[in-house]
Structure 1
Amino acid sequence: MAIFKVYIDNNLIEVLNYKIHSSKIPKEFNGFKILQISDLHSKSFGKENIDLINKVEAVEPNIIVITGDMVNNDFDYSSFISIVNKLTVKYKIYYVIGNHEQNVIARNPDEFNNMLKEIKEKNVSIINNKNISISMGKQSINLYGMYTDLKYYRDFRNKASRSINFSVKDMEELIGKCDKNAYNLLLTHNPVFFSTYSKWGADLTLTGHVHGGMVKLPLLGGIFSPEYTLFPKYYEGIYKEYDNFMNVNRGLGRGNFGIRLFNRPELSVITLYSTRKYEV
């Protein structure tokens, strides 16, 4: 029975649906579906990822966003490429890299750039530290993609690393000032600095990285953090600060961890609605 539970929690994808309401969302975006994929870590769900692809197609999203760590440190891009090959036929995909991609870049930049070239040719938009506009009718929202230096992925085993902070000024140096007159969607991998993202002006931030804490306990939540601390503040689902929201996707793979438990692989579906007040 325990083996069956571990199999489910590591291999059967759960689709989680969230609704975000804001007066800043144009009416043309009512019902706009964003499907978020994160932290695949080179894992496959069925042959050529057919199980994952079927889950996505059942949602029929307006766009797909990918928030990093699609590959592991093993240079195996085949699982990621299988997703791109199938899904770009129907959907526009926006992608920002995570810390594992940065590790691969440091070790083998030529091979990684070849992978980026391949997915670009499939019409994937790579929005690393840049922004684009997404339009519906005559209205639009801003989509920002941001990745940070690896030093901002703190390691609490290292005393010097514990005090590292990421400020609004740091963020502006990477992606510029926020256009606060528009609705702003931010894709970034690390949820730790949600307060900074919110103060900068991100109305909705989509992140991953924490894998749901890998193992979840009732009432206590996710246990493990990539920062090498226990019970991370942000580990799954929707969080709110001021009038701004953040979704932490639990991810699909395991990375360098052992197993997932009470924490199934996740696809997030975030649907936008225009209202007079902020709510979720």
Structure 2
Amino acid sequence: MQLFRKPKLTKKKIIILSAIIVLLTIFCIFQNKYLTVTEYTFTSSKTPQTADGFTIMQISDLHNAKFGKNNSRLISKIKKNAPDIIVITGDIVDSNHTNIDTAIDLCNQAAKIAPCYYITGNHEIWLDDTESEKLYSGIRSAGVTILDNTTVILDNGIYLTGLGDDHLYNGTLAELSKSVPENALHIVLAHEPQYLDEEYTLSSPDLIITGHAHGGQFRLPFIGGIVAPDQGFFPKYTSGEYKSGDTTMYVSRGLGNSVIPLRLFNTPELNLLKIKAE
């Protein structure tokens, strides 16, 4: 005697289930492909009058992601905002499924829009020697400046320092900061945000631009990001503005994914930073 009957999938149930699957698929694609531009304004008494209104577009954590053919949608967003410079803050490639050509193509297109400055992320550090040589050679050939633990002075008087991802916590920033005058506006590019209190602020840069946290991957109201590389669950630094002492840090949610292939309530992001004088 059969006590339990296997429930039958009626035509109506199949249609409803199919609709749910389609809607969820569309939602997930939207969450991972809808590009947003987040604007921030940073005001400082150190900003030279020649730099008042200066704009910086940040590209971070591409991880070989593509937004349209040849990243046409991504390039279009950058062009539309007409930045004065573009900074690429690491992980332009993904060491797990490396595509050097995608990264170099983006650099070639970005460099035609504005001067570009690049720093390494952890995924670049993890590349083998052959991949590294191809990537860095391609980036330089595109006309992008690699700020490998280097400080440059922009034409408007801003000091811009770039840290390699293997030099974030070993005193490199403190050493580089010695050449920056106290009254100069000092902006630092550093891939990872979690060293704000224990390392970055010791050198008192005015502004730090970072990525790496992927926005916490999954974002929930009133909670924020759920998990981030090197910060674990419920990370402190995932998106937006943070302050420590006299230092302000901006964290980009980034563009692509790596180990976790899906974002939720955390659309890919370009940051546009506007520098203002008091």
Deviations 1:177-200 (A, max 9, x none): 252321100001010011221220
Which residue number in structure 1 is paired with residue 241 of structure 2?
A: 238
Identify the residue that residue 213 of structure 1 maps to in structure 2. 216
TM-score, normalised to structure 2's length?
0.87
Displacement of 1:249 in angstroms is 0.4
Q: How does 1:106-145 map to 2 (within 5 A)?
A: 108-136=128-156, 140-145=157-162
* Equivalent position amino acid for 1:223 in 2: I
Find the aligned partners of 1:131 and 1:93 in 2 and give their Cα distance. Answer: 14
Amino acid at match of 2:150: K
Larger radius of gyration: 2
Please tell me whether the aligned partners of residues 134 and 142 of structure 1 are also in contact (alpha carbons under 8 angstroms): yes
The residue that corresponds to 1:82 in the other structure is 105
CA offsets 1:80-117 (integer angstroms, 9 cap, x no match): 1221122212311000000000001xxx2133112211
Conserved? CA contact 2:125–2:165, under 8 Å:
no
Q: 1:68 aligns with which of 82, 90, 107?
A: 90
RMSD: 1.6
Q: Compute the displacement of 1:228 (Å).
A: 5.7
> For 1:269, which of 269, 272, 277 is the aligned residue?
272
- The answer to whether the Cα contact below 8 Å between 1:178 and 1:201 also exists between their aligned partners in 2 is no
Aligned to 1:116, the other structure's residue is in SS state helix
User: Per chain length, whose mean CA-contact separation is higher, i.e. which structure has more relative contact order (CA < 8 Å, sep 6+)?
Assistant: 1
Match of 2:74 in 1: 52
| Alpha-carbon displacement from aligned partner over 1:170-223 (angstroms, at most 9, x marks no partner) | 5435x3525232110000101001122122021000000000000001100000
How do 1:1-280 and structure 2 match up within 5 A? 1-73=23-95, 74-104=97-127, 108-136=128-156, 140-149=157-166, 166=169, 169=171, 171-173=173-175, 175=176, 177=178, 179=180, 180-195=182-197, 196-227=199-230, 229-275=232-278
Equivalent AA in structure 2 for residue 212 of structure 1: G
What is the aligned length?
A: 253
Q: Which 4+ stretches in 1 moved above 3 angstroms?
A: none
With the length of structure 1 as denominator, give the TM-score of the two structures: 0.86
Residue 3 of structure 1 aligns with an amino acid whose one-letter code is T
**Residue aligning to 1:278:** none
Q: Unpaired runs of 5+ in structure 1?
A: 153-165, 276-280
C-alpha contact (below 8 Å) 2:82/2:113 kept by paired residues: no
Q: Identity of counterpart residues, as a percentage?
A: 36
Q: Partner letter of residue 102 of structure 2?
A: S
Q: Is the 8 A contact 2:239 2:251 kept in 1?
A: yes
Q: Describe the SS at the equivalent of 1:238.
A: strand
The 1-side partners of 2:139 and 2:262 are apart by: 29
Distance 1:249 1:178, change over 3 A: farther
Which shows bigger deviation, 197-206 or 39-48? Answer: 197-206
